[in-house]
Structure 1
Amino acid sequence: MTPTPPTPPTPPTPPTAPIQNPLNQQQRQRTPSPDPNNVPLTKSHLRELYSQDERKSIPVYKGKRGDQLINNWLKDAERVAQSAGWSAKDKIKYFSDRLRGDAVDWHSDYIDHAADKEDYDAWEKALINRFLTETEIENLKKQLNELKQTPDQSTQTYVSRLNH
C-alpha cells in the first residue's frame, strides 16, 4: 500500500470586517500641525519683504572719521525711506540696521536711555550731534556762505541747493 500524502492545512477564514491598524486611527484623530510655510501673505508681510530689499540700498555707516558725513548718509537713507513709505518708527528700525561699529554702539546706548524710543526727529538730531565733527560743521558753514544764487537760477533750485 502506498502512503497517502498528508492534506494541507486549511487557511483561516478571513474576517468579514477589515482589520484596522491602530496607528492609522491615531494619526487620523490628531489635528494636523500648522505648516509655518503655508501662512497667507498680508500687506504687512509684503511690506516687510519689500523693506528688506530697500534697506540693503542704504549704505552702511560706521561713524568713523573719513566716512561719509552723517548728514549725507541720512539724506541717502531718507530717500530710500520716502520711496518705501516708511513711518518714523520704521526709519529708526531700518536705519539702525545699517549702522556698524561706533554708530551701532551709539544707537544701542541711545535706545537704552531715550525717553521716547520712537521719536525719529530726536533720534536723528542726537545722531547728527554725536557724529558731525566741528571741522565738518565749519566746512558746511563755509559751503553755505559761498553758495550764491545765479541770475538764471530759479529760487526753487537755489533753495534746493541750500538743502543739499
Structure 2
Amino acid sequence: MNDLKELVAIPLREKIPHFSGRLDGILIIDWFKQAKRVAKGGNWSKEQMKRYFPERFLESALSFQENLDDPDNPESVTEYNEWKDLIIKEFKDPSENQISKNELSEIKQKANERVRDFRARLEKLFAKVYNEKLFHSTNEDMTVIRNDILKNAFELGLKGELLPGYEKRVPVNADYPTCVATATEVEKVTAGRKKF
C-alpha cells in the first residue's frame, strides 16, 4: 500500500510550484498554502510533506535545505512542523510581517459578522503574524503577551452596535477569553432585541 502511495505522489509533486527564496518571487506563506493544497489532495502524511516539499526548492531555498540535510549539521530537523517553522523564519519577507501586524492592529468586525467568526479571523491573523507556537504556547509570559495583543485588537475591532452593552458588562481586568464570552452574550441580547 505504501509503495502505491509513493507512486501516486510522483505526478502530484510536480503540481507544487517551485520556491527559490528570492524576495521578488512567491511569498513563503503562499507557497506553503499551495503545497499543502496538493498534499491534501494526495492525502500525504507530514513525513511525506517534509520529504517532497523540498524537492521543489531552487537557488537559495535549495541551498538552505541542503544545509539542513547536511549530516554534519548539529541541529538536524526530523519533525515537519519544526522544519516548516525554520523554512518560514528563513524566507519570510520582513515587510510582509509588518503589513500583517498593521492588519492586526486595524482589524474590524464586519457588519454581519458574528463574534465567533470575528474571533476566528483575529486569531488566524495573530497566528500568521506571531506564529503558531506563540498562539498555542502555555508558557505564562507568552500567555500574557498573547492575551494582551488579542484583547486589544478584539476590543478595538468590535462593531459599534455591541460596544455599549460590552463596555457595561466586561470586567476591568478581563482576559481575552472573558472579553470574547462577554461580547458573545451581548451579541445574543442585541440579536434578541432585533427580532422583536
In the alignment, is the contact (CA less than 8 A) between 1:57 and 1:80 conserved in 2?
Answer: yes
**Is the 8 Å Cα contact of residues 88 and 118 (structure 1) preserved in structure 2?**
no
> Could you tell me which residue of structure 2 aligns to residue 84 of structure 1?
42
Unaligned runs of 5+ in 2: 129-196
Which of 68, 91, 95 aligns to 2:53? It is 95
Give the C-alpha shift of residue 120 in structure 1. 0.8
**Equivalences for residues 37-52 of structure 1 within 5 A:** 43-52=1-10
In structure 2, C-alpha distance between the alignment counterparts of 1:80 and 1:157, rounded to whole Å:
28
Structure 1 residue 116 displacement after superposition: 4.5
Shift of 1:158: 6.3
Number of residue pairs the alignment of both structures matches: 122
Q: Separation in 1 of the partners of 2:2 and 2:59?
A: 31
Distance change >3 Å, CA 47–CA 143, structure 1 → 2 = same
Report 1 or 2 for greater relative contact order, CA contacts < 8 Å, sequence distance ≥ 6.
Answer: 1
Correspondence for 1:120: 80
Structure 1 segments (4+ residues) deviating >6 Å: none
Deviations 1:75-120 (A, max 9, x none): 1112222222212221111100111110010001012226453211
Output the TM-score relative to the length of structure 2.
0.55
Check conservation: 1:96, 1:104, Cα contact below 8 A: yes
Higher alpha-carbon Rg: 1
**Quick one: percent identity of the two aligned structures?**
26
The TM-score normalised by the length of structure 1 is 0.65
1:86 partner SS: coil
Residue 73 in 1 paired to residue 31 in 2?
yes
Q: Check the 8 A contact 1:81/1:91 in 2, yes or no.
A: yes
In the alignment, structure 1 segments of 5+ residues that lack a partner are 1-42
Between the aligned partners of 2:19 and 2:105, the Cα distance in structure 1 is 28
Which residue matches 2:91?
Answer: 131
Map of 2:180 onto structure 1 = none
- 1:110 and 2:110 matched: no
Residue 61 of structure 1 aligns with which residue?
19
Aligned pair in 2 of structure 1 residues 97, 157: CA closer, same or farther (>3 Å)?
farther
Structure 1 residue 156, shift from structure 2 partner: 3.8
Q: Greater helix share, 1 or 2? A: 2
Matched, 1:159 2:120: yes
CA distance in structure 1 between the partners assigned to 2:35 and 2:65 by the alignment: 16
Please give the root-mean-square deviation of Cα atoms over the aligned residues, in Å.
2.2
**Correspondent of 1:140 among 72, 90, 100:** 100
Which amino acid in the other structure matches residue 149 of structure 1?
Q
2:170 aligned residue: none
